[in-house]
Chain A
């Protein structure tokens, strides 16, 4: 073949042809499975990497818009399934996969499912704090949904036995891993709700790998926790990874032991509170009693006994008596004085006193009638005359009338 007989393409022409062939074959998009290598993200948000298997390598580009939709971290060595279109990039002569979707393969797919379910439930409000129920003041009867033989139940019962031996436990034994475990857990939660005599449900499983704990990320389990009318404590695994069951529960803790401790703590807190109430009550009553004691003391002090009153009266009587005595003495002495003056006056008036001054008293003899007028006498009559000392009897010789010279007139 001569050179001139041959069709000669320019690079651009052949590139264009390749483009057409590639895009007509893979135009609808293609799923490609491989391992990520040489992964780079540019500030533009576009990601560039290679997909490879044991024999080949395919360059891949994921533009910013598609990259933003990726919900897991793409790392070198990660096995992924990508969907995209094969494109021929002329400037560099590269055949590349323009990735529109990327999903991890294997365990990674589970992770993806986890993220998908999480987002769905989040939108539905399954993890909404407003839906969370308050734990009972004191759970006296708890239901535990867990394996009947695992470490979780042993840990929980151990703590309860020591810290709250009064709490009744109803265990709903379930398989906690493997196919169908999520449904069993869900059924356990539902049946404990149906059983009714339960205050609190613990959904639990001891530590294990992410895969072991998977049932607690499955929808039936998560929904059963959300739908439980009885408050649910989720205690799954021993790791920080929160399961969807944790997120849907009313409260979640990291270990089964911690779940049991919630109950022990509640019990101890209540006991402390009750004893404080008791003390407070005692103080109030003591206060009251002391108040009344003081009142009584105060009133007693101001209360006068009848004896006091009597003594008071007696005292008054004494005082009066004394006063009376002195009054009487005074009265007597006054009377005495008056009597004395009377006696003196009387004394002055005594005829005997007159006699002592030289006067005499005459009376008829016998008869003793005082003679006041001379004309009533007749000559010859007997007259008795009393003197200051002694008396004598005389006979009337003559009468001297009045108006005549006293003592000179002789009848």
Chain B
């Protein structure tokens, strides 16, 4: 959940930076700073989407507590 929130925030920030940059109202120094920040945000967002390190688990509830177990996938 935390990750999702930060992803959405980062994407919003990125969109705002793009707007600010395209408005042309920034100084060159500010532009470069924003650009650098924007590139970092874009890279962060992209790598979050392209990350391939997730788990497939099954959720069980034992004695009122949740437990996650690795899900056995059928091999094709």
A residues whose Cβ falls under 8 Å from a Cβ of B: 136-141, 143, 148-149, 154, 157-158, 164-173, 191-192, 194-197, 199, 267, 270-271, 274-275, 277-278, 280-282, 284-285, 287-289, 292
Contacts and interface: CB of A to CB of B under 8 A. Distances in A.
Interface core residue of B1, B8, B22, B56 (most chain A CB under 10 Å): B56
Interface string B20-56: 0110101010011001001100100110111111111
A138 B49 contact: yes
Nearest to B3: A140
What's the dominant secondary structure at chain B's contact region?
helix
Nearest to A188: B59
Contacts of B59: 143, 170-172, 191-192, 195
B73 A157 contact: yes
Interface in B1-22: 1, 3-4, 7-8, 11, 14-15, 17-18, 21-22
Sorted nearest first, the 5 A-B pairs with minimum C-beta distance are: A284-B21, A165-B52, A166-B51, A168-B54, A171-B58
B63 interface: no
Nearest to B74: A154
B9 to A, nearest CB: 11
B42 A277 contact: yes
A166 B68 CA distance: 18
A166 B49 contact: yes
A271 B39 contact: no
A138 B7 contact: yes
Contacts of B56: 157, 168-169, 171
A271 B38 contact: no
Nearest to B7: A138
A270 B18 CA distance: 15
B58 A148 contact: yes
Contact of B58 (A172, A274, A282, A292): A172
Nearest to A199: B4
Given A148-B58, A169-B71, A171-B59, A280 B22 contact: yes
Contacts of B74: 149, 154
B69 to A, nearest CB: 10
A275 to B, nearest CB: 8
Given A274-B45, A281-B35, 17 more contacts: A137-B4, A137-B8, A138-B4, A139-B4, A140-B48, A148-B58, A157-B56, A191-B59, A191-B66, A194-B66, A271-B50, A281-B38, A284-B24, A284-B35, A285-B21, A289-B28, A292-B28
Contacts of A136: 4
A140 to B, nearest CB: 5
B57 A171 contact: yes
A270 B49 contact: yes
Contacts of A194: 66
Contacts of B1: 141, 196-197, 199
Interface core residue of B50, B53, B59, B61 (most chain A CB under 10 Å): B59
B41 to A, nearest CB: 9
A141 B4 CA distance: 9
Interface core residue of A138, A166, A270, A281 (most chain B CB under 10 Å): A281
B49 A278 contact: no
A306 B20 CA distance: 40
Nearest to A289: B28
Nearest to A200: B4
B11 A280 contact: no
A274 B31 contact: no
A154 B22 CA distance: 46
A184 to B, nearest CB: 12
Contacts of A285: 21, 31-32, 35
Contacts of B15: 277
Nearest to B44: A274
A278 B57 contact: no
A352 B26 CA distance: 98
Nearest to A173: B58
A160 B16 CA distance: 31
A134 to B, nearest CB: 12
A319 B29 CA distance: 48
A154 B1 CA distance: 25
A158 B76 CA distance: 9
A267 B21 contact: no
Nearest to B69: A171
A289 B35 CA distance: 12
